[in-house]
Amino acid sequence: MTIRRPRGDRQLVQIVDAALADAAQRSGDWLKCGPGCTQCCVGVFAISQLDAVRLREGLAKLENEDPLKATRLKKRIATARKKLSKDFPGDPISGVLDESDEAAERFEEFANDVPCPVLDPKSGTCDLYESRPMTCRAFGPPIRTEEGLGVCELCFRGATTEQIAACEMEVDPDGLEDKLLKSFERRSGKRGQTIVAMAFGG
């Protein structure tokens, strides 16, 4: 059975994309993101099951629109899965990351030099850009975390703390993603985080 993302996910995507556009406008030349810059596309990162289903839907759409590109992408995904499965800090079959402290420590050092399989190595662009995870949608502008405002190391060079703060991106101010994810997990039975390469199943 095909599990589809909740209807509200389209609203979430619109909210985050609008927040990015606003932050990018305020950032101006401080923001260096663009096609061909792949700094944030190397190294694995955790994504939600909502991100995973969005990626799968994006791949299905690509198969209809550009079968050759989809075939190349699926080969990269299969290669990445095979490479990452051996030391994957979780269940390599389901693709779900282990939530233990020991696994979290292993994940910190896991596959930090492996490019995202969705990245086209020739063009330096994302083959599933419209379906990309929330982390990808919010990368670049200053984002507030427990450690403070974080920015891409290629952006905001020479900017003052005040200039960086003025460009802060509020990703999901109403917590819609968390609400949608909880609802999706209850409905689908799919829980836990995964990574892009493992989001597409075997």
Domain spans, the chain? 8-198
Rounded Cα distance between 45 and 186, Å, is: 24
Point out which residues pair with 120 in neighbouring strands.
125
Q: What per-residue confidence (pLDDT) applies to 135? A: 94
| 20 C-beta neighbours (distance < 10 Å), count | 19
Q: Is the pLDDT of residue 63 over 80?
A: yes
Give the pair of three-digit tokens for residue 46. Answer: 């955790």
Q: Is the pLDDT of residue 111 over 60?
A: yes
Asked if 55 contacts 131 with a C-beta cutoff of 8 angstroms, the reply is: yes
Q: What is the mean pLDDT of residues 4-24?
A: 93
Q: Is the pLDDT of residue 195 over 60?
A: yes
Rounded Cα distance between 110 and 76, Å, is: 18
Please name the amino acid found at residue 104: A
User: Both ends of the chain: CA-CA distance in Å?
Assistant: 15
Cα atoms in the 13 Å half-sphere on the side-chain side of 178: 5
Q: What per-residue confidence (pLDDT) applies to 188? A: 87
More confident residue, 68 or 1: 68
Q: Is the pLDDT of residue 202 over 70?
A: no
Q: Would you place residue 88 in the very low, low, confident or very high pLDDT band (cuts 50, 70, 90)?
A: very high
Q: Is the pLDDT of residue 170 over 70?
A: yes
Q: Would you place residue 3 in the very low, low, confident or very high pLDDT band (cuts 50, 70, 90)?
A: confident
Q: What per-residue confidence (pLDDT) applies to 4? A: 81
Give the residue from 57, 46, 44, 41 showing the smallest Cα distance to 9: 57
Chain center to CA of 147: 20
Q: Which residue has the tokens 């190294």?
A: 43
Rounded Cα distance between 162 and 170, Å, is: 16
Q: Is the pLDDT of residue 1 over 60?
A: no
What angle (nearest 5°) sits at the alpha carbon of residue 100, between those of residues 142 and 194?
55
Asked if 131 contacts 118 with a C-beta cutoff of 8 angstroms, the reply is: no
pTM for the model stands at 0.92
Q: What per-residue confidence (pLDDT) applies to 46? A: 96
